[in-house]
Amino acid sequence: MEQYVIKGGTPLKGSVNICGAKNAALALIPAALLTEEPVVISNLPDVSDINILLDAIAAIGARVERINRHKVRIVGATVSQLSVDYGYVDKIRASYYLLGSLLGRFGEAEVAMPGGCVIGARPIDQHIKGFEALGAKVLLENGQIKTTATQGRLKGNHIYFDVVSVGATINIILAAVMAEGNTIIENPAKEPHVVDLANMLNSMGASIRGAGTDVIRIKGVDRLHKTEYTVIPDQIEAGTFMFAAAVTGGDVTVKKVIPKHLESITSKLVDIGCEVMEYDDSVRVVARGPLRATQVKTLPYPGFPTDMQPQMTAALTLAQGLSTVTESIFENRFKYTGELNRMGAKIKVEGSSTAIITGVKGLQGAHVSAPDLRAGAALVLAGLAADGYTEVDDIKYINRGYENFHGKLQGLGASIVKVESEEEIERFKKMA
């Protein structure tokens, strides 16, 4: 089993290039199936979630040609199957975006029902409500979601989401772009990747206005055509490296980013005492002196992202004073704090939504396990700041969303390696 081994204590210094956004790419790939013509997508991150989704669309008949590590050509003309295997949905929830795109193009789709996951129950009632409003019949049978446009083609409608959901917003956009007539989505998610999806679809001939605002208006079109599109930079990967700078007392420039997407993260870094300089497409974080405590609550965009909550908590373990972190999106996202406490942190979770953190002078290296993607990244950040060696197990979760995480950290001076055996760990400890 692959592990990361880290020798902590080195302030990170230098610059790092940020990849394309995983969560945007997960929506753009199903969107490419809305046309028979070829769609070329660049700046795809080489992470396992994306590679699994590409396998999933190939399995239903799409042609997937790798142009290079970060660029793919997708041809949807050959899609021959409208049912997506459970194996894919089990590995990545976002394969349920194929419901929206297959339903939108063919008037029919079947995808396994995604289960809950470690961070929460994650129901899909808003997706279903949206599909039904567009004139689809939705059946939940034997763990499958089967959906059919009752009149052959979906019909535009007015949809109000009861909760702000990134996934439901994306699925309904995918279904509605080729519906007959107009669709209005109220209370949609405003995340940058929702806007990215609308931009790519518009470049394919769709008519979507208002993505990124409180109301999205879609004028259904009869067909979409080919495009070449570049994925936006990954807000969460960038934020993770920004907090890596903070927690190690470093000086890091994250490059190839959109600073506007990072504003909530930047503002919290300033609160805890870091200096943050914004340039056109890069952001520099300098941490001098001890970090300061703060309060933070996760919220839908433009609020502080839930996907940055564990990394922020890791940094606050070393901030002077009492901090509180409130999780308002997922009901079970503090499990990893037990692992941080094993490294010497003082975190108390109250109920399931608030962590109270008493800053400590230092963390100590320990053997810990990544429970999920972002918590895994947070444990690596803690290891980079801790005294001694930290071993992080289950890095398959980290590989879901970070391309070459350890390589990029090494480029910033971190002492971290990916190992597969005890001998490799011993060798690293002798050399580090």
Site for ligand UD1, rule CB under 6 A: 23, 26, 94, 120, 122-127, 163, 165-168, 189, 305-307, 329-330
Q: How far is the CB of 82 from ligand UD1 (least distance, A)?
A: 22
Residue with token string 């373990």 = 317
Q: Has 117 been annotated as catalytic?
A: yes
3-state helix, strand, coil in the chain (%, to 5): 35, 30, 35
Closer residue to ligand UD1 in complex, CB, 123/143? 123
Instruction: Give the C-alpha separation, 40 to 68, whole Å.
Output: 11
Residue with token string 């009149």 = 151
Closer residue to ligand UD1 in complex, CB, 251/403? 403
Q: How far is the CB of 245 from ligand UD1 (least distance, A)?
A: 22
CB atoms within 10 A of CB 68: 9
Q: How far apart are the first and last CA of the chain?
A: 21
Q: How far is the CB of 307 from ligand UD1 (least distance, A)?
A: 5
Instruction: Give the C-alpha separation, 105 to 124, whole Å.
Output: 21
Closer residue to ligand UD1 in complex, CB, 71/122? 122
- Tokens standing for residue 149: 């446009």
Closer residue to ligand UD1 in complex, CB, 10/126? 126
- Catalytic-role residue among 67, 77, 117, 432: 117
Q: How far is the CB of 159 from ligand UD1 (least distance, A)?
A: 12
Q: How far is the CB of 233 from ligand UD1 (least distance, A)?
A: 15
For 418-427, letters b (16+ CB in 10 Å) and e give bbeeeeebee
Closer residue to ligand UD1 in complex, CB, 183/187? 187
| CA–centroid distance for 246 within its chain | 21
Q: Give helix 309-316 / helix 373-385 axis angle, nearest 10°.
A: 20
Question: For the sheet containing 251-255, what is the strand order?
Answer: 13-17, 251-255, 282-286, 275-278
**Residue whose Cβ sits closest to ligand UD1:** 167
User: Which of the residues are catalytic?
Assistant: 117
